[in-house]
Amino acid sequence: MSITNTDQSTDLTRGCWDPCLISGCNLRAFDAGFLGDLSPEDDFRLMVFIRRFEEALLRLFQEGHVNGTTHTCIGQEYVPVSLMPLLQTGDFIFSNHRGHGHYLARFLDPEGLMCEILGREGAVCQGVGGSQHIRRDRYFSTGVQGESVPVAVGAALGLKRSGAKHIALTFIGDGTWGEGSVYEALNMASLWSVPLVIVCENNGIAQTTPINVNMAGSIASRAAAFDVTFVRVEHQRITEIRSQLSEALEGVRQTGRPLVIEMMTQRLASHSKGDDTRDESEIIRMKSRDWFEQIDGITMERRAKIDHDVLHAIDSLVECVLAREASSWKGRS
């Protein structure tokens, strides 16, 4: 894999939406190096935008506008919002099937993503990637469990050989630890001392199978078996998460050694569209712990105003995207 940064699209204003409705016109603050500029409102607005985007996709699927499948990150939005400001432009990001929040937190580009998922003109990958298979600059996603981890090791090796102080970060779920490729990749990453970061979003359930019946031992012990540094995050407080992880990520940049981060989180929606076998009482308990109910530093009135503005922006985005022509794979044979 070449580590050349091929910029496919950096225009964040294709015409269907106002970027200020995501970031409060504070787009620069989400870039690495401007972390101190972020306010609780900036983070809250982006998390709400991701959630309402995902809910809109579920409605669009029910209405027959989405082909194939789609997996939402409802409940887990704070994970990418916490992490993305800690990353640099030269870092590789490898996402997975539940990756809409990763993309939106990285690029603040709901229009390009929604056009991609709905197969309309303006799509970030001309409509051929859909919900799960996205490529933009150094961002890649795949729907194949465990596939991204060995590829990320290769990217990390390329970064090491180039001398760049960048990292290759890959998102996986707890169920992906059942894939042998993850262990082969960890073995190589440790042996070769490459700047790989595995972020495991542990929502406690692999599709419909709870973790207590599909995983023996722990993720920490798996990392230790390969002499890989391990960090666990057990809460949803964004400022504290960034404080906890910034030093760990900087350590990867400076030492070139791999890192595993376990983010204890919860998935409030079904695995994909409607395949949730969990008891309703469990869902209610999780919703009571949702970040939306616990975020500090924003009044209830202000939260309601932000949510109202975001819902309006999402409705306008959907209307605009649905009015577009079907995307075409330009320049391809």
Q: Can you give the pLDDT at residue 277? A: 76
CATH topology of domain 20-322: Rossmann fold (3.40.50)
Query: Where in the chain are the domains?
Result: 20-322
**Contact by Cβ (8 Å): 117, 104:** no
Q: Can you give the pLDDT at residue 329? A: 78
Integer-rounded Cα Rg, in Å, for the chain is 19
Name the pTM for this structure: 0.87
Q: Can you give the pLDDT at residue 272? A: 61
- Block means of pLDDT (10 residues each) for the chain, 333 residues, are 38 60 52 63 93 92 84 88 95 93 94 93 90 91 90 98 97 87 97 98 73 83 97 94 96 97 81 70 77 84 92 94 88 59
